[in-house]
Chain A
Amino acid sequence: MGSFIEVKDLYFKYDDPEDENKNEFALNGINLTIEKGSFVAVVGHNGSGKSTLAKHFNSLYLPTSGDVSVNGMNTKDDSHLFDIRRSIGLVLQNPDNQIVAGIVEDDVAFGCENLGIPPKEIRKRVDDALKAVDMYEYRLHSPDKLSGGQKQRVAIAGIIAMEPECIVLDEPTAMLDPQGRDEVISAVMKLNRERGITVIIITHYMEEAVLADRVVVIDKGRVFLDGTPKEVFSQVEMLKQHRLDVPQGTELVYKLRGCGFELPKCVLDENECADAIEKLLKGVS
């Protein structure tokens, strides 16, 4: 697995004369390497800079200073613009606003059509992409009639059809209900596991972050924690200091450990948590 996206000393300032905080950097020296095929969650508060970072990956934003490169291509280099956007697809937060066409399959085809792919090949890719996100049976529907989770999966299919090496999802579930969130996350996980597509998901839901291979925590435009979910979520104190959430099970075990009980250093989901506590309770009695 080689490095795929490389972020070096990235600083970024919004160029907005109306903004009162114009002297503040939204990104304050970020260094990050994303490996090919990995599943990375970037978490942080609103305003931490996580979405700004996401928009640097496919050169929607360009660094004020520092560099971002994809497969060795610098995002500042205009001649690589389409190569970069073809290999890194970006899914945005509001599912309604990123669907262009009035029929699901026509929308999924949009990206491929822009790339000038032959019609037969587009057809194949569109069907394949819709199947990958379990939306094939809705291919002739109008997007208006779909639920939020379904619309977001159509948006993902539109990116997948372009056959990118990586998809970046900028808070794809923030506007969805719990069911929609599950649909989107399991679709994304499947793409990562079965097709080896690199996934970078920007989120503030910790339940989603624990599913990743790697969690990068950002605050005030800086990376302050970076590691496997277990490594990151074992730093309960540190996360709380930055006023970030910790999964409830993780926090419970952390609290019990604080009382001196023998428990694993970090548990992530409810099963692990229940296992640990069961062991503890049965060990005592």
Chain B
Amino acid sequence: MSVITAENVTFTYGKGTSFERTALSGVSFSVEEGEFLGVIGHTGSGKSTLVQMFNGLLRPTSGRILLNGKDIWEQPKKIREVRFKVGMVFQYPEHQLFEETVYKDISFGPKNKGMSEEETDKKVREAAGFVGLSEELLKKSPFELSGGEKRRAAIAGVIAMDPDVLILDEPTAGLDPLGRDALLSEIVTYHKVRKNTVLLVSHSMEDIARISDRILVMNNGRKAMLDTSENIFSQGAELEKMGLRVPQITKVMMLLKQRGISVNTGVLTVEQAFQEILSCLGCCGETKKW
């Protein structure tokens, strides 16, 4: 079943002013329940605007957003309920921390949702566990944490609301490769354990490629592609035309293909490329299918 459906969604910033700018035009697609969907596009492609539609922070200029089959703007007064069901982690979420302790900050969302003390406590600890924040850190002030820990605390604050859908907008921006990998694997674990729907927005293909079931490619406010990672990446040339950068390893395979060597260009990782080359060499090594 689809959790979120966008029906012909169009959005215009500053309608009727001299700053008018169309950010989305005629976007339609559905996100399936339990799916891990990657959303990519260059800056200004409309990807961030699109995901802000899903929890009702922005209202479509025309078209509808359905959550579990129901138009979220049917009763505009109840839009807050949608925000508890669709959790949204913004870019640089650590900039939203404000409470005296990390624990209190994470419980801000659950309390707004109206959870009991007991339930809040359970959710806060659970969320902290998902992002690898220790008991010790929960007692600290959020401003004493390191950059990576702050980011985790902020993400925990959204996870603790126990949303059906979790949206993360560039969660790894500004992190070093080590921090990036750790955070991504925490998100994957969360998705596996909770089995809920996750939308990950990024302009880094490397991040998205390995972990998404499907990838939505946005370009100039329109849906450009929506397919499995392999199928998307085998269209490297198309992606580059949209100003997106494919992983270096995919690029290598594209170059080999251009030079008349028949390799699969839909590779996403070094390991996959390694196996692909080995099978081309018809070599002794493991030629197992990945």
Contact = CB atoms under 8 A, between A and B. Distances in A.
Question: Touch between A and B in complex, CB under 8 Å?
Answer: yes
Interface of A: 45-47, 147-148, 174-175, 177-180, 204, 207, 243-245, 247-249, 251-252, 255-256, 259, 261, 269-271, 273-274, 277-278, 280-281, 284
Given A147-B43, A252-B273, A259-B278, A175 B174 contact: yes
A248 B270 contact: yes
Given A244-B177, A248-B247, 17 more contacts: A46-B147, A177-B43, A178-B245, A179-B42, A180-B43, A207-B248, A245-B177, A249-B248, A252-B273, A252-B274, A252-B277, A259-B283, A269-B248, A270-B255, A273-B252, A280-B277, A281-B281
B278 A278 contact: no
Nearest to A283: B281
A277 B252 contact: yes
Q: Is the interface of A mostly helix, strand, loop or mixed?
A: helix
Interface residues of B, number: 36
Interface in B250-289: 251-252, 255-256, 259, 261, 270, 273-274, 277-278, 280-283, 285
A238 B245 CA distance: 28
A168 to B, nearest CB: 19
A248 B273 CA distance: 10
5 nearest A-B pairs in the assembled complex, by CB-CB distance: A274-B255, A248-B249, A204-B176, A248-B248, A270-B251
Contacts of B176: 45-46, 204
B184 to A, nearest CB: 14
B203 to A, nearest CB: 5
A256 B173 contact: no
B147 A259 contact: no
A277 B248 contact: no
A47 B148 CA distance: 11
Interface of B: 42-43, 146-148, 173-179, 203-204, 243-245, 247-249, 251-252, 255-256, 259, 261, 270, 273-274, 277-278, 280-283, 285
Contacts of A174: 174
Nearest to A174: B174
A45 B261 contact: no
A243 B180 CA distance: 12
Given A179-B42, A243-B178, A270 B243 contact: no
6 contacts: A46-B148, A147-B43, A177-B203, A179-B42, A243-B178, A270-B248
Given A259-B285, A281-B281, A175 B274 contact: no
A284 B43 contact: no
A174 B281 CA distance: 39
Nearest to B282: A284
Contacts of A248: 247-249, 252, 270, 273
A247 B273 CA distance: 13
B278 A281 contact: no
A252 B249 contact: yes
Contact of B42 (A177, A244, A270, A277): A177
Nearest to A178: B245
B147 A278 contact: no
Contacts of B255: 270-271, 274
A66 B246 CA distance: 44
